[in-house]
Amino acid sequence: MQPTRRSLLAAAMAGGLKMSAEPDSHFRGQIAASTVAALMRDEKLSRDALMVKLIARAKSHAHPPISNYFVGAVASGTSGSLYLGQNIEIPGNPLGLAVHGEQSAIANAYMCGEEGIDAVAVNGSPCGHCRQFLSEVSVNISMRVLMGDSLEMKLADLLPHAFGPKNLGFKQGAFPITHTRFSLSTGSNDVLAHEALNAAEQAYSPYSRSPSGAAILTSTGRVFAGAYIENAAFNPSLPPLQAALAGYFAAGPSAGDIERSVLVEGEKTAISQYATTKSTLSAFAPAARLDRFTF
């Protein structure tokens, strides 16, 4: 029996609907294009209206133990898929290491291999940090930003006279994703290390030229990987473990507890992610093992 119109949306809101084209064990906040189309058709909703409705689902996975301010975001991919994101605060760590909702949504799109982002919906006006991060998606910053159900603006209007990739001589931003092949220095057969290596191979680090990737293994056997995503203004850059955590939190409680993490980065690069990765991991899983591999 096919779900009714109302139950289909209710299932999506509650997380009981298989929304990814990937197996459930790979779900990291993606709503597949086919499911998006079905929801729009059955609920008689525009794409924008569906995005706004799904903010509540994204917001329900937020983790803000410091501010207690919950943020949900939904990014619209040019492929037709939607991506959920939520803010993540890291107890005992500097506020600058927190992940904003819009960053989470973009990170989930990035790690799902999305082609580009044309709109983002969020339950409030994006802060300056997020406007700067979003400007890295594309050099023309033509993205639309939906703020709740009553206001829509172009990112270019929210961030006039922007400073981004083109100011530093680059012709494209973080999307479309590019890949570079690396090999682990030790030649390890460690499966989690190769997940982190795959993430490092798609890292976006044009400014530091220090690509890196991280992967986490949970008690339920699930793996979440994250690539480093830089920003022209530097500070809004997203470390690889935070990119992995974006998918981990979007997956909800069924993801299980973090048991192990791997960081993969260059042996001789301008920056290292090890210290912040160790500090961030200890906040969520102090007993989890962290291994560092290089290429």
The overall average pLDDT reported for the chain is: 93
What does the alpha-carbon distance between residue 141 and residue 256 come to, in Å, rounded to a whole number?
A: 37
Q: What's the average model confidence in pLDDT over 276-284? A: 97
pLDDT in the model for residue 183: 96
CATH fold of the domain at 9-161: Cytidine Deaminase; domain 2 (3.40.140)
CA 83 distance to own-chain centroid: 8
Check 102, 136, 195, 230 and give the catalytic one.
Answer: 102
Question: Is 102 designated active site?
Answer: yes
Q: Are 145 and 122 in contact (CB under 8 A)?
A: yes
Which pLDDT does position 113 carry in this prediction? 97
Distance (Å, whole) CA 98 – CA 96? 6
Flag the least confident range among 20-34, 65-79, 112-126.
Answer: 20-34
Q: Where are the domains of the chain?
A: 9-161, 191-294
- Domains 9-161 and 191-294 are alike in CATH topology: yes
208-266 residue pLDDT tens: 999 999 999 999 999 999 999 999 999 999 999 999 999 999 999 889 999 999 999 99
Pick the CATH number of 191-294 from 3.40.630.10, 3.40.50.620, 3.40.50.720, 3.40.140.10: 3.40.140.10
* 145-199 pLDDT per residue, tens: 999 888 999 999 999 999 999 999 999 999 999 999 999 998 889 999 999 999 9
